[in-house]
Chain A
Amino acid sequence: MAETSARPVPSTTGPTLPLIGKSDTKPTWCPGCGDFGVVAAVEMAVKRLQIPSHNVVIVSGIGCSSNLPHFLSSYGFHGIHGRAVPVAEGIHWANHDLTVIVTGGDGDGFGIGIGHLVHAMRRNVNLTYVTMDNQIYGLTTGQASPTSMMGQRTKSTPEGVIENPIDPISIALASGATYVARGFSAEVKHLADLIANGIQHKGFSLIDTMSPCVTYNKLNTFDYFRQRVYKLEAAGHDPTSLPKAFERSIEWGDKIPIGLFYSTSKPTYEDLEEVLQGGPLWTQPAGLKGHEKVLDEFI
């Protein structure tokens, strides 16, 4: 066995460990961007749960919203476009004591990265994924996104989008996510509740957050959502029922539901991965010393 004494585990608890807060980097988003509400809600949620900032890792891909990790005082991994989820999975499996939050946009998560998202959901990895869904590509200055609505005119679709938008909620329900919610970035407290509950939930949590782009999406604006959103909690929705969650997920028109669609308790990937039962991977002994008998099979 390798020397465990050579692998000191830093103290992760203590009386004065700081909670998450704003970093010294100011957001570079356009004034009025929906993402300000999301970063505020993430900060609020993590603070409320009293998770010390050094035990939080925020992982993102590329896009306006993917800059979010820079604006908070936790650890952050700002990777490449569409690949935040597998990076987050790897971080979590290396150290499942960490709270790993994935943030990013609709292009990142539902376009280039949707394959990873679907697989992470079916694995029920204990991650919290907060998307900032503005139904447009912002950082590349206004092309159609996978969630852009049919008919929407963008720089890449001057005659209007001719593809059906992806519905992240029903995909999440069908893929096996165990906590599925929609937030609205103007409803920061409500969103913070959804995120905090998602972090506390054991398993994969998707919080698809409608986060309007004030520069490139003139259709799905704050007003657009204010006129349409209603809260599932207030509408008597039963989030333990998968069929009812599917029923609500296809509602998108004059009324758009926000809140918790579905929540269920199932073993996580980490619960089922035998090796992780020995504690966070990074604290476990490494090497072949003491395991020399594996060489016998080669004789």
Chain B
Amino acid sequence: MGLHVFGLNAYQSVIRGGHVWFQARTSSERPYSQGDGADLLYCLNRETFDVHAPALRPGATVIYDPERLKIADSELPVGTRALSLPTMELARKYTTQPILQNAVGLGAAAFISGIPLDVLHGVLTDSFGKKAGDILQWNLRASSDGYEYARQHASISDRAVHRAGPPKLLMTGNQAIALGAAAAGCKFLAQYPMTPATSIMHWLAAHAQELGIVVKQAEDELAAIHMAIGASYGGVRAMTATSGGGFSLMVEALGMAGMTEVPLVVVESQRAGPSTGLPTKTEQGDLNLMLGAGQGDFPRAILAPSNPAEAYRATIDAFRLAEDWQIPVLLASDLHLSESTATVDREEVPTDVPIASLVTVPLGTADYHRYAYTESGVSPRALPGQPGLQYVTGSDEHDTKGHLISDVRAGIPVWIAERTHMMDKRMRKLAGIAAASRPPVFEGPADAALTFVAWGSTIGAIRDAMPLLAAQGRSTNLLHFPTVFPLHAEATRAAIAKTKTTLLVEGNFTGQFGRLLRAETGIHLPNTLLKYDGEPFYPHELVARAREVLTHG
């Protein structure tokens, strides 16, 4: 129907049982978050009603099967209504398999939401058209039955949707990252399963042969990152992906990528910590870890997209930065971005990404120095297999040829100087990386009374809160950071100088980005909204806190 959708998949760390729900928000305007409130609640059990009834808005409809649960009229929130829908009974006309009742429910939900039956039938045909036997026919008929039942016993929502244009793409953040990696020319992914990064591997594994990408499930995250570093050294673009726990294991190797100057992309999809924490819940609590991962100083970049369209672009940026600057690049995602579903316009996922040859050192180069001192800090990188350019790369400190200066040369004056030069060479890259990466972005009216300061998936709920605040006569804007590190200090200072009041919004306990911003710019952002309950931000929370800050300062 060409509508925009945002879908939040909420689950628990159990395989069977527990309370699982999917929250879908759709509109002709792009929703950037799951939003506040619900206009339709489809309950498969009583717990669903108990947990979610408080979110129902006036005019909302609750759908439930009286064979499964009971809801008394007196329990319904004011202004809401219920549709007692015999899903099991209607489904039994076709099969004893209880799963078909979903089609009945979908039919009823489609009617109430204003989705034409032929649209739903199209989706069901896409999903079940290739199944054997009567499965498609059962689904089509059961959904028609549900639609018809709702037509007779319920009414269309006054917030019903309407056709808005040509179909859009619908994908999760992880799918966007996987696609972006493929578009950037990634040929190798090594990964160890860990929620919420796992589905990056699932998508790439499912398309590995089609796209010619080697996908390796490693024995652990240590192996995953080392395999990716090896593959990159060997001459292909390579990536690994994990969450905080796995990334903690990768820390030593990250430093090796920095020291050996091997390009590497690491996706760090954060979940609520510390330790195993809340494996299926979101947080932005790993920023300090990403900033500090690895002993010693070495250049790195941390990119933080906020939605699938940005994640696609940021993944391509990550490969470009890694390759151009021969550094490890961290793509900071989180469960809310990685696993939520959002619509993307086709133009937002361009596939004509330039892919340069990785062979950059011409054969016949005399007196090749892998780590030659250059103004940018980037030295010519030969690939194994190229005749006459052999060198040894190492995690030890080395000279321009890659020879160790860590053993018999350590502490000798000439090599003390060499060490300093080599550190300077590597660290020089940071200025270039900053110049080559996306600066902070302002969104919204320039003269707003309050500026939200945020990074990553948190931005979505802010984008949804801003029009709500505007409708209440509160003018706000947003300053966000597609590149979290290196932080563009001058641009950040200039941007903050233009603000009246700021509100730092982060999904962690200590305000980790606020601390980075203070360290890099000397600016302290006094007003904060910090959340660490595992749940994503909701627009109403931002509205409430913004109003509070605007009222009380």
Hey, which bits of chain A sit against chain B, CB under 8 A?
2, 6-8, 10-12, 14, 17, 23, 25, 28, 52-55, 57, 59, 62, 67, 69-70, 73-80, 83, 85-95, 97-98, 115-116, 119, 273-276, 278, 281-282, 284-289, 291-292, 294-295, 298-299
Contacts and interface: CB of A to CB of B under 8 A. Distances in A.
Contacts of A89: 216, 223, 227, 230
B222 A116 contact: yes
Contacts of A54: 384-390
15 contacts: A14-B387, A79-B256, A86-B223, A87-B233, A90-B228, A90-B229, A91-B233, A98-B385, A116-B222, A276-B214, A281-B231, A281-B236, A286-B187, A286-B355, A294-B207
Contacts of A25: 403-404
Given A298-B344, A299-B167, A119 B230 contact: no
Interface stretch (B357-365, B371-379, B456-464): B357-365
Interface string B216-235: 10111011101111111111
Contacts of B353: 287-289
Contacts of B389: 54
B293 to A, nearest CB: 14
A28 B256 CA distance: 23
A17 B387 CA distance: 7
B384 A75 contact: yes
Interface in B147-185: 167-171, 175, 179, 182-185
Contact of A77 (B167, B175, B392): B392
Interface of B: 167-171, 175, 179, 182-188, 190, 207-214, 216, 218-220, 222-224, 226-238, 252-253, 256, 260, 344, 346, 349, 351-353, 355-359, 363, 383-396, 403-404, 407-408
Given A70-B403, A80-B256, A282-B187, A10 B359 contact: yes
Given A91-B234, A94-B236, A299-B169, A86 B385 contact: no
A5 B511 CA distance: 49
Contacts of B344: 298
A87 B346 contact: no
Given A90-B230, A115-B223, A299-B167, 4 more contacts: A86-B224, A288-B182, A292-B351, A298-B171
Contacts of B183: 287-288
Contacts of B407: 28, 67
Given A275-B213, A294-B211, A94 B231 contact: yes
A7 B383 CA distance: 12
A62 B383 CA distance: 22
A53 to B, nearest CB: 6
A282 B233 contact: no
B208 A298 contact: no
B372 to A, nearest CB: 17
Contacts of B363: 10-11
Nearest to B386: A10
A95 B395 contact: no
A91 B393 CA distance: 13
Contacts of A28: 407-408
Contacts of A97: 385
Contacts of B238: 90, 94
A95 B252 contact: no
A286 B355 CA distance: 7
Contacts of B236: 94, 281-282, 286
A67 B344 CA distance: 51
B212 A278 contact: yes
Contacts of A69: 392
B91 to A, nearest CB: 28
Contacts of B388: 54
- Interface-centre pick from A14, A86, A291 (highest chain B CB count, 10 A): A86
Nearest to B394: A78
Given A119-B223, A288-B211, A91 B395 contact: no
Contact of B393 (A7, A17, A78, A85): A78
B357 A7 contact: yes
Nearest to B207: A294
A79 B387 CA distance: 22
A25 B407 CA distance: 12
Nearest to B178: A294
B397 to A, nearest CB: 12
B384 A90 contact: no
Contacts of B355: 2, 6, 286-287
Contacts of A285: 212
Contacts of A70: 392, 394, 403-404
